[in-house]
Amino acid sequence: MTTVAGHPSLRGRTVERRGGGRGGGGGSVGSGTYRVPGRFSMPGQATSAFWFLALIVVVLNLFGLIMVMSAGSVDSVRSGGAPWSYFERQLLWTAIGGVALFVTLMVSVDVWRRMAKWLLLGSIGLLVAVLVPGVGVSANGATRWLGAGPLQFQPSEFAKFGLLVFVADLLDRRSDHIDDWRWCLLPVTAYLGLVAGLIMLQPNLGTTIIIATMVLAMMLVAGVRLGPLAVVAMGGALAAAAAVAYTPFRRTRFLRFLNPWADPTNTGLQNIQSLVGLANGGVLGKGLGRSTAKWGFLPYAHTDFIFAVIGEEFGLVGALFVVALFFALTVTGAWIAVRANDRYSMLVATGITAWLSIQAFMNIGAVIGIMPITGVPLPFVSFGGSSLMVNLAATGMLLNIARHPAEAPLRPRRARAVSVR
């Protein structure tokens, strides 16, 4: 039995939480005082994980602003703008993202849970709108944006958030039936397939992989058995392989990943120039603003390949510093998930951590040549409005969960029963 604090309607009442293993059997009863937040989750206790995560994100975001100013200045001038145009736009989106972070930090995760269905439906509606001729905005052979002028956004970024809160709610509500694939695995896979299918029509394989990995991580932590989960993962991998094999530009990207020197001045240019930029940086780098890769040698230097500019200007030391920050973010996010005060919050924290971690890994992996190029930005660092805003909003929710930890860690297994009496 545990005492519930922080909610007038439940004050003085107790909550019994049971957790069971995969085999069925009796569950263990957790004890301690758990906060049941109301509409707003402030004030709360600021844990060390809260401040550490906040510091990581602030450093990444400030460093990203500096690098967008450096890496984007040349391309901005070549496009007819001022050297600081990309910086100004990134600063605007940082301010908007800061507001989004404040909202998700202030508003209880239970509020987002009650809105989960509508957030997912809204995300699906926006994804459909992108595909409507004359509505979606196209660039570089892809139709991924809505809006006009500099205020464009990618609905696929918002779909990450909508699917996150919806899947967490579904898995938590059906935790007693976690072993029944018809109740948990099938519906989650169906919703994932719908969202992923709409994103693939844009086309956008990179975001699809991120979303799929996020959902798989949540199902694993929720307690879905490894066998059925492996089948779903293999099915997704086969679908991704088919998308690469039967789409000419993706097939070319994959072949250039295997051997960029087969076409060094065209399809292999990005792969080679990103490595050249990293090599030119040496151990300590050339210094801020002194990259040569951004002078037309490396396409998308301020977006997908900003990590190469970081390596050139700040060297191996600077590149490893960024990698260390993302590693620390992953560990801190996992710690917050384990210490969450309920299983819904644990699943949300797991999803956010997986989302940000795999996106960083895919971006850095493409730059250093260990993964194919997928076009995903480096979280908090690359130029990109909607990606930055949604990442900051997700961070706010993760910070929210960190403010209200349980006294004892939650085990990443299914909940057998939850009762209030």
- Cα separation, 288 vs 73, in Å, equals 12
> What is the pLDDT, as a whole number, of residue 138?
86
Q: How far apart are the first and last CA of the chain?
A: 10
State residue 254 phi and psi, 5-degree precision: -65, -40
DSSP state letters, 345-393:
HHHHHHHHHHHHHHHHHHHHHHHHTSS----PPPTTTSS-HHHHHHHHH
Two tokens, residue 295? 């002078």
89: Cβ–Cβ under 8 A, 6 or more apart, which residues? 150, 383, 385
What would the pLDDT profile of 175-192 be if each residue is shown by its tens digit? 888 888 888 999 999 999
Say yes or no to pLDDT of 145 above 50: yes
- Cα separation, 129 vs 385, in Å, equals 19
State residue 143 phi and psi, 5-degree precision: -115, 95
Say yes or no to pLDDT of 258 above 90: yes
244: Cβ–Cβ under 8 A, 6 or more apart, which residues? 205, 250, 251, 253, 254
Say yes or no to pLDDT of 322 above 80: yes
Domain regions of the chain by residue span: 60-140+147-410
Share of the chain above pLDDT 90, in %: 71
- Confidence (pTM): 0.86
Reported residue count of the chain is: 421
Confidence of residue 45 (pLDDT cuts 50, 70, 90): low
Cis before 43? omega within 30: yes
Cβ atoms of 71 and 294 closer than 8 Å: yes
